[in-house]
Chain A
Amino acid sequence: MAEPTIYELSSPGRIGIRFPVSDVPQQELPENLLRKELPMPELSELDVIRHFTHLSRLNYSIDEGFYPLGSCTMKFNPRINEVTARLPGFLNSHPFQPIETIQGNLAVMYLLQEWLKEITGFHSVSLQPAAGAHGELVGGLIMRAFHKKRKDEKRTKILVPDSAHGTNPATSSMAGFEPVNIPSDKRGNIDLEKLKALCDENTAGLMLTNPNTLGLFEENVLEVIRIVHDAGGLVYGDGANLNALLGVVKPGMMGFDILHINLHKTFSTPHGGGGPGSGPVAVLEHLSSFLPDPVVDILEEGSEELPPLYGLIKPENSIGRVKAFHGHFGVIVRALTYVLMNGAEGLRDVAKYAVLNANYLMGILKKAYTLPYDRTCKHEFVLEGVWDELPEIHALDVAKRLMDYGIHPPTNYFPLIVKEALMIEPTETESKQTLDEFARVMLQIAKEAHENPELLHEAPHHTPVGRLDEVKAARDLVLCCWRPEND
């Protein structure tokens, strides 16, 4: 039985919360501006609690089990983060309060800026971007502003490897550039000859995810950066996969000019069923004046007795604001808590064990699944969810069958350069026992695919709903459960 919608549960006259009786004189809004109908549902508090409790039970989550969704870094979300982000002093502060009254907030932001700089090897950081894609947009706009400032306006192209997330080409367009695809070579690296051929005086820059979406470290990274720099372009690092590099290498020291960081992946802030994230952007010194407005800085140095006075400033050549206020502060507090609890060695261990877990699983699974790029991976790896002898079985079938075993499927059909891709990222917070169980299930499914393929085709069998008709959803659009004229 499906859970009714909030409108189906509504009973006229029911109320969920009472507000105080007005203690001031009654005032009336002019009639021409007054709303006649307010078509909202009417429920008791218990109705609401039960409804959303029922809905929550229809979800799979990290708290329930293994979530090896490649490129999403579904690591454990420490509960202390939820407590610190809700400390009343943080939660009830207004973004326009005078700076003297919000020094605690500004200290949190300043510390995280400093620590992210240290971790990534860059000169300056802005915490304003709201998500990874938003950080990418900031990176693209910084590239644009940098070339424009130098009156080098013929640079209209951004190079994007064929393994890139869809956001990279979309970002390039949004930032006013034309994306140019660069192919990968047989080892999963950028094809250097093609790169050299494509780099010229029109190149604004390169967007490089490293480790890339195959989970492989770009072996020629220094050469790639040199080629782009020699052509006068900038190198943008997509930090989606930074988890593999914490304390292992600092992208800023290798010559990346810009990097965005996903606090909701690498720094354990929860994914929230799809947000809120946070996508800080780090840059080298020559780009720091272009960062979005605002960044936190020290206005007056402190002393032994007095802390410094922090403030919000707009960088000199800033690309401007990319959202209201100062960034996803609640997410920033969670990330700061995580860095505080890990320290340098803890963060280095994050990368080491994330990579160990991925290689361990890859070693077991490549016996039953095709591994197109067979070399030491970083935090994730990509298998083919298809067998030559079984043309009717697809990666989607493997993914759906995993649900029957109570496991979240890997990312499927991405990256595009692997056919029927299954992209697996275990993260460092999963134990050997969990990995062994996942491996056992994956091998079992490979066996089922050969012996009883119907089990895969018809999967999932044990979920709240079966495979859903996506064609119907897009054809007979129903995007709203109730509208007044239908009543």
Chain B
Amino acid sequence: MFIPHTDSERQEMLKCIGKDSLESLFSDIPEKYRFPKLDLPPALSEMEALQELTELASANNSCDELICFLGAGSYNHYIPAAVDMLLRRGDFFTAYTPYQPEISQGTLQAVFEFQSLIANLTGMEVSNASHYDGATACAEACLSAYHHFRGKRNKFIISPSLHPHYCDTIRTYLGALDGIQIMDKSESIQQVNPQFLAEQIDENTALVIVQYPDFLGRVVDFTSFGKTVHEAGSLFAVAVNPIALGLLKPPSEFDADFVVGEGQPLGIPMSFGGPYLGFFATKSELIRKISGRIVGETVDGKGNRGYVLTLTAREQHIRREKATSNICTNQGLMALAATIYMSLLGKSGLRKVAELCYQKAHYASEQIAKISGFKIRKEWIFFNEFVVECPENPKTINDFLLHEGVLGGLDLGDYYPEMKNCILFAVTEKNTKEDIDILTELLEEAVANG
């Protein structure tokens, strides 16, 4: 399929190169292993393939049909129609890495604008072109800090309330380096706060990384904590939800060195967890210490403004084994989606979405708190996710919700034994008051029935 050659063209081409068959082009491959049997289903036409995939897709119960209150790192936000319409332009999605800037100015300028928007959203000075996702952006922040101190500081303080997948990813990445000390445990996840983290900081600490809002949805002001980290000479990284930054003060006000995060909420579908978008912003003085592609502005011979990949001397294709990461281009189209999303929403739209998330989540938490047996931690400030302590097994409750067409929150007992009765609910601008009232009624019913 997708091969245009006619029989006569094939013959003519073979004749040109002095071969009598296509098979004869492979005589350098050990004969014993050449042209093995390949047991695959028979080829389908486009129509049949679409039918087959449609059947598989409809075997899911997706958030098309379900009312979604699940978040925990992937969020059900509204994506304006224009985002996907623009992404589908072949000039964008069938191009590759802009190695030849003269014919890649579209991609290059879009990346430059992405860098600018991310820098302004996070309050930082500069941003790179992207990482694979929020988890690997966190891991790359750790690697940057490791190399920044030339391996001389080897303690990494990972807030235990960082997303558990991000913690796992950091452990995997750092596990390959010798003599690394990773502090990512606590007796109680609920007790994790700046003071708990500050007590672990010493002169051997390379990096402290926290999440804002954290995995349990909590928002903490890290302004003075940032000073504590820097007093020890350590670097400070903050993983953020970019939508929350429409309302919350940016981590630049905590004097963060690296602001990283998952860009999925910025106009990228949930798509069962990927492809997403890692973003990575920093201070100007640290730009040469970070990995990933970076686009810079310049001019051509006639003085016209243009854009190129720059500071490439940091990267694997130049530095080879001395590079701090092997990362190449990644997530280009997802960064473009986020760029279009941020451009469309702009100053007022990003604020509005953040306010809607905040207000609806607070309405939901108040309604749930009114149900007998359900408890909310009132002292916790949150953005759009909150923990609910349930009178029943969360699995039973979630099963009941699902049966009634509602996708409940994350069962926190799966991650933290101490929270075995807790559910993490997420609310976005897509949830109407009616959705929330349905959720509240069903929770009441679930307990009454139980």
Query: Which stretch of B152-160, B198-206, B230-238, B317-325 is in the interface?
Result: B317-325
Residues of chain A lying within 8 A (CB to CB) of residue B74: 94-96, 325
Contact of A323 among B55, B132, B318, B402 (CB under 8 A): B132
Interface presence of B265 (CB below 8 A): no
Shortest A358–chain B CB gap in Å is 9
Q: Say whether B135 contacts A94, CB under 8 Å.
A: no
Measured CA separation A69–B130 after assembly (Å): 23
Interface presence of B274 (CB below 8 A): yes
Residues of chain B lying within 8 A (CB to CB) of residue A53: 86, 89
Interface presence of A14 (CB below 8 A): yes
Q: Say whether B248 contacts A29, CB under 8 Å.
A: yes
CB interface residues, A 319-372, toward B, < 8 Å = 319-331, 333, 336-337, 339-350, 352-353, 355-357, 359-360, 363-364
Interface presence of A39 (CB below 8 A): yes
25 A-B residue pairings within 8 Å (CB atoms): A19-B349, A20-B429, A23-B433, A29-B247, A39-B120, A48-B344, A89-B60, A94-B270, A95-B73, A102-B62, A108-B53, A173-B323, A174-B173, A273-B104, A275-B331, A307-B59, A319-B172, A400-B102, A408-B103, A429-B2, A431-B5, A432-B5, A432-B9, A474-B311, A479-B295
Interface presence of A130 (CB below 8 A): yes
Given contacts A23-B433, A84-B53, contact A346 B1 (CB under 8 A): yes
Given contacts A59-B106, A170-B319, A324-B273, contact A350 B432 (CB under 8 A): no
Query: Which stretch of B41-49, B186-194, B385-393, B438-446 is in the interface?
Result: B41-49
Interface presence of B115 (CB below 8 A): yes
Given contacts A248-B34, A321-B135, contact A19 B429 (CB under 8 A): yes
Beta-carbon nearest neighbor of A30 in chain B: B381
Measured CA separation A25–B94 after assembly (Å): 46
Q: Say whether B275 contacts A320, CB under 8 Å.
A: no
Measured CA separation A80–B62 after assembly (Å): 21
Residues of chain A lying within 8 A (CB to CB) of residue B34: 248-249
Residues of chain B lying within 8 A (CB to CB) of residue A175: 176
Beta-carbon nearest neighbor of A167 in chain B: B326
Closest 7 pairs between A and B when the two form their complex, measured CB to CB: A325-B273, A95-B273, A343-B43, A89-B57, A274-B332, A272-B333, A63-B90
Residues of chain A lying within 8 A (CB to CB) of residue B133: 130, 323-325
Interface presence of B68 (CB below 8 A): yes
Q: Say whether A5 contacts B321, CB under 8 Å.
A: no
Shortest B2–chain A CB gap in Å is 5
Q: Say whether A115 contacts B88, CB under 8 Å.
A: no
Interface string of B240-259 (1 = CB under 8 A from A): 00000111111000000000
Contact of A17 among B121, B347, B349 (CB under 8 A): B349
Residues of chain B lying within 8 A (CB to CB) of residue A248: 26, 29, 34-35
Beta-carbon nearest neighbor of B305 in chain A: A2
CB interface residues, B 123-160, toward A, < 8 Å = 125-127, 129-130, 132-136, 143
Interface string of B300-338 (1 = CB under 8 A from A): 111011111011010111111111011111111110100
Residues of chain B lying within 8 A (CB to CB) of residue A176: 176-178
Q: Say whether A478 contacts B297, CB under 8 Å.
A: yes
Measured CA separation A57–B316 after assembly (Å): 30
Interface string of B72-90 (1 = CB under 8 A from A): 1110101010101110111
Residues of chain A lying within 8 A (CB to CB) of residue B36: 121, 247, 249-250, 253
Residues of chain B lying within 8 A (CB to CB) of residue A197: none
Q: Say whether B98 contacts A465, CB under 8 Å.
A: no
Q: Say whether A274 contacts B97, CB under 8 Å.
A: yes
Q: Say whether A80 contacts B298, CB under 8 Å.
A: no
Q: Say whether A119 contacts B2, CB under 8 Å.
A: no
Residues of chain A lying within 8 A (CB to CB) of residue B197: none
Residues of chain B lying within 8 A (CB to CB) of residue A10: 346
Interface presence of B289 (CB below 8 A): no
Contact of B362 among A27, A115, A349 (CB under 8 A): A27
Query: Which stretch of A131-139, A385-393, A441-449 is in the interface?
Result: A131-139
Measured CA separation A90–B55 after assembly (Å): 11
Beta-carbon nearest neighbor of A47 in chain B: B343
Beta-carbon nearest neighbor of B23 in chain A: A352
Q: Say whether B296 contacts A479, CB under 8 Å.
A: yes
Shortest A221–chain B CB gap in Å is 7
Q: Say whether A60 contacts B103, CB under 8 Å.
A: yes
Q: Say whether A429 contacts B4, CB under 8 Å.
A: yes
Contact of B165 among A325, A347, A429, A483 (CB under 8 A): A325
Interface presence of A302 (CB below 8 A): no
Shortest A390–chain B CB gap in Å is 22
Interface presence of B228 (CB below 8 A): no
Residues of chain B lying within 8 A (CB to CB) of residue A134: 132, 136, 327
Contact of A174 among B165, B271, B326 (CB under 8 A): B326
Beta-carbon nearest neighbor of A278 in chain B: B275
Contact of A327 among B134, B273, B304, B398 (CB under 8 A): B273
Residues of chain A lying within 8 A (CB to CB) of residue B293: 274
Residues of chain B lying within 8 A (CB to CB) of residue A343: 40-44
CB interface residues, A 454-473, toward B, < 8 Å = 460, 463-470, 472-473
Q: Say whether A56 contacts B89, CB under 8 Å.
A: yes
Residues of chain A lying within 8 A (CB to CB) of residue B296: 473-474, 477-479
Contact of A341 among B13, B43, B323 (CB under 8 A): B43
Given contacts A90-B60, A104-B58, A343-B41, contact A274 B326 (CB under 8 A): no
User: Which interface class (under 10, 10 to 19, 20 to 34, 35 or more) fits B?
Assistant: 35 or more
Most A CB within 10 A of own CB, among B74, B143, B436: B74
Interface presence of B420 (CB below 8 A): no
Interface presence of A420 (CB below 8 A): no
Most A CB within 10 A of own CB, among B248, B273, B315, B326: B326
Interface presence of A184 (CB below 8 A): no
Shortest A127–chain B CB gap in Å is 10
Measured CA separation A281–B177 after assembly (Å): 22
Shortest B435–chain A CB gap in Å is 10
Measured CA separation A166–B329 after assembly (Å): 13
Interface presence of B217 (CB below 8 A): no
Given contacts A176-B178, A250-B33, contact A430 B4 (CB under 8 A): yes
Residues of chain A lying within 8 A (CB to CB) of residue B274: 95, 130, 276, 323, 325-331
Measured CA separation A311–B431 after assembly (Å): 29
Given contacts A276-B333, A346-B1, A483-B120, contact A328 B275 (CB under 8 A): yes
Q: Say whether A468 contacts B298, CB under 8 Å.
A: yes
Shortest B90–chain A CB gap in Å is 3
Interface presence of A40 (CB below 8 A): yes
Measured CA separation A61–B60 after assembly (Å): 34
Shortest B433–chain A CB gap in Å is 4
Contact of A102 among B23, B60, B295 (CB under 8 A): B60
Contact of B271 among A67, A329, A483 (CB under 8 A): A329
Q: Say whether B300 contacts A468, CB under 8 Å.
A: yes
CB interface residues, A 158-217, toward B, < 8 Å = 165-167, 169-176, 178-179, 216-217
Shortest A48–chain B CB gap in Å is 5
Shortest B260–chain A CB gap in Å is 12
Q: Say whether B328 contacts A342, CB under 8 Å.
A: no
Q: Say whether B348 contacts A15, CB under 8 Å.
A: yes
CB interface residues, B 260-308, toward A, < 8 Å = 262, 269-276, 284, 287, 293-302, 304-308
Q: Say whether A463 contacts B103, CB under 8 Å.
A: yes
Q: Say whether A87 contacts B353, CB under 8 Å.
A: no
Beta-carbon nearest neighbor of A474 in chain B: B310
Q: Say whether A98 contacts B13, CB under 8 Å.
A: no
